Chains A and B, each alone.
Chain A
């Protein structure tokens, strides 16, 4: 009886530990994002990706449909080649366009897809032709400042 009581509490203890790990994995971490139920990869070339990083979300109309798999550089054109893993359950027209946007003013950067009107769809290994690079805040500010400076000096 005594030994069985010990075994029972040890069983409870081990269960509590495993349950805690399961809770951490499911509720605290994003284990759902690990397996999206099958993905297909498409690439997109950008002139400037800003601070886009692998694992950043890919969204359509704000809904997450995939994530950035990896980022390399094309050795010929020197453009950034971004590989996107998109969920299999969504299909996108071939003439869709991709742009890099920022969540909020200083938030993380993500890829936003705008579906086109074509009847033919992107397949695994396909390429998104129309892209828009990241908007880099510092560049805009410096352009604004220089144009202002040029403007005021022209007047005086």
Chain B
């Protein structure tokens, strides 16, 4: 075996070991965060403040993306369905795609980019500028005071944003379908209602977005708390948040979809 190949395999092994090590760190961090989560619930004001930073400020981009995704789905779906003379099912196609897949997944991806990265940078910078150490000096535990409210806010915001995304997308698709493509509005809704199940499809989408909210918030606060206290460390941690959140969202989505479609 040549030295180059050995190096390559060694590099792969190092990466896997590093990844497992980080996963272990993240799990230990979660275990430490758990009691702090309960404490933070008693101080709702902090969570509301963070909900503004994460949820409200992400709202606009979610609404705009939802509207565009809905319109694109309508145009693209119509283009395919019309070949089979099945354009009356457009409402069903759009609603199922949005509620089950695109709403939760795209919202979580947008959230990771817009709010998750900001969470990481904020906590990482607090660490780099020794604000967290300062808190500990004053006998204030930073976990319930700083980390837990941000985690709660992220976890609450993602499902709310995902529902908004789906609803806006369906309305936008309706507008395109009726005004531009000339479909009948009544058929659009009635096909949708006969095919979308509240318990399977809508609740399934809700469950997905709750899981994504948990995972993205977890990765964001962990990467921030774990960042090297230098400017380079904070920038690396921010990048890692976006990359690992995106991969985690897509991987988990595949697993959850596989289980849900089998009728778990």
- Interface residues of chain A, those whose CB is within 8 Å of chain B, are 3, 6-7, 9-10, 12-14, 16-21, 23-25, 27-31, 34
Report the bound CA distance from A139 to B104 in whole Å: 44
Q: Does B206 contact A (CB under 8 A)?
A: yes
Given A13-B56, A21-B163, A30-B193: A6 touches B202 (CB 8 Å cut-off) = no
CB distance from A58 to the nearest CB of B (A): 14
- Some 27 contacts from A to B, beta carbons below 8 A apart, are A6-B48, A6-B52, A10-B52, A10-B55, A10-B56, A13-B52, A14-B55, A18-B160, A20-B163, A20-B164, A20-B167, A20-B168, A21-B202, A21-B206, A24-B166, A24-B202, A25-B198, A27-B189, A28-B99, A28-B193, A28-B196, A28-B202, A29-B196, A29-B201, A30-B193, A30-B197, A30-B198
CB distance from A108 to the nearest CB of B (A): 9
CB distance from B93 to the nearest CB of A (A): 12
Digitize B156-191: 1 where CB-to-A-CB distance is under 8 Å, 0 elsewhere.
010111011011101000000000000000000100
Task: List residues of chain A with CB within 8 A of the CB of B201.
Answer: 29
CB distance from A154 to the nearest CB of B (A): 40
CB distance from A9 to the nearest CB of B (A): 5
Q: Does B2 contact A (CB under 8 A)?
A: no
- Do B164 and A17 touch (CB < 8 A)? yes
CB distance from B199 to the nearest CB of A (A): 8
Within 8 A of A (CB), among B44-100: 45, 48-49, 51-52, 55-56, 59, 95, 99
* Complex: chain B residue closest to A17, CB-CB: B160
CB distance from A18 to the nearest CB of B (A): 7
Q: Could you say which of A16, A29, A31 contacts B59, with CB atoms under 8 Å apart?
A: A16
* Complex: chain A residue closest to B63, CB-CB: A16
Report the bound CA distance from A84 to B59 in whole Å: 45
- Do B167 and A24 touch (CB < 8 A)? yes
* Complex: chain A residue closest to B193, CB-CB: A30
Total count of chain B residues near the partner, CB < 8 A: 31
Taking chain B's interface residues, is the majority helix, strand, or loop, or is none over half, making it mixed? helix
- Interface residues of chain B, those whose CB is within 8 Å of chain A, are 45, 48-49, 51-52, 55-56, 59, 95, 99, 157, 159-161, 163-164, 166-168, 170, 189, 192-194, 196-199, 201-202, 206
Q: Could you say which of A16, A19, A31 contacts B198, with CB atoms under 8 Å apart?
A: A31
- Do A29 and B198 touch (CB < 8 A)? yes
Report the bound CA distance from A6 to B46 in whole Å: 11
Q: Could you say which of A13, A30, A31 contacts B160, with CB atoms under 8 Å apart?
A: A13
Q: Could you say which of B45, B59, B99 contacts A13, with CB atoms under 8 Å apart?
A: B59
Task: List residues of chain A with CB within 8 A of the CB of B194.
Answer: 30
- Do A16 and B48 touch (CB < 8 A)? no
* Complex: chain B residue closest to A31, CB-CB: B198
- Do A20 and B197 touch (CB < 8 A)? no
Report the bound CA distance from A27 to B91 in whole Å: 12
- Do B51 and A23 touch (CB < 8 A)? no
CB distance from A56 to the nearest CB of B (A): 11
* Complex: chain A residue closest to B168, CB-CB: A20
Task: List residues of chain B with CB within 8 A of the CB of A21.
Answer: 163, 167, 202, 206
Report the bound CA distance from A23 to B163 in whole Å: 9
Report the bound CA distance from A34 to B193 in whole Å: 12
In the complex, the 4 A-B pairs of residues with the closest C-beta atoms, listed nearest first? A17-B160, A20-B167, A29-B198, A20-B163
Task: List residues of chain B with CB within 8 A of the CB of A27.
Answer: 189, 193
Question: Which of A3, A17, A21 has the largest count of B CB atoms less than 10 A from its CB?
Answer: A17
Task: List residues of chain A with CB within 8 A of the CB of B192.
Answer: 28
Task: List residues of chain A with CB within 8 A of the CB of B161.
Answer: 17
Report the bound CA distance from A19 to B168 in whole Å: 11
Task: List residues of chain A with CB within 8 A of the CB of B51.
Answer: 10, 13-14
* Complex: chain A residue closest to B156, CB-CB: A14
* Complex: chain A residue closest to B59, CB-CB: A13
